[in-house]
Amino acid sequence: MGQFFRHILRTTLLTAGAIVFVGCATPPAPTTPPPVAAAAPAPPKSVMFDSDPNGDWNIFPDPTTGDVGVYHKGSYVGSVDGNEHDDPPVPHPSPKHPPDDTTP
């Protein structure tokens, strides 16, 4: 009967030693703080509304032609089609707009 208890004691000590070794060998997982959300930047000021406080100018883009119609106080001034070399682009008459389009 003595050998039986020695065998159980040896197995128990080896298992306990392995558990202690593994438990002490691994460091605890580092805790990282949650990421801090950056504050959203302020939206840029609109040049169109700052330069025209009365709302006299209107632009209407046409996605089918790429033409942007420019109106001042309700009357057609011209269009901006992307081929202008000025900065800011100056509206010019467009052949895509019929004459009845120029009257308010």
> 79 lies in which domain range?
48-101
- Is 62 inside any structural domain? yes
Q: Quote the radius of gyration of the chain (alpha carbons, Å).
A: 39
Q: How many domains does the chain have?
A: 1
Surface-to-core class of residue 47, CB atoms within 10 Å of its CB (0-12 exposed, 13-18 middle, 19+ buried): exposed
Q: What is the pLDDT, as a whole number, of residue 25?
A: 65
Q: Residue 93 domain-assigned?
A: yes
pTM greater than 0.85 (yes/no): no
Examine residue 88 and state whether it is found in any structural domain, yes or no.
yes
Place of tokens 């790429």: 66
Start-to-end C-alpha separation, the chain: 113
How does pLDDT run across 7-27, given as a tens digit for each residue? 888 889 889 888 877 777 667
- Per the CB < 8 A criterion, the answer to whether 46 and 54 are in contact is no
C-alpha 71/C-alpha 15 separation (Å) is 87
Q: Is residue 53 part of a domain?
A: yes
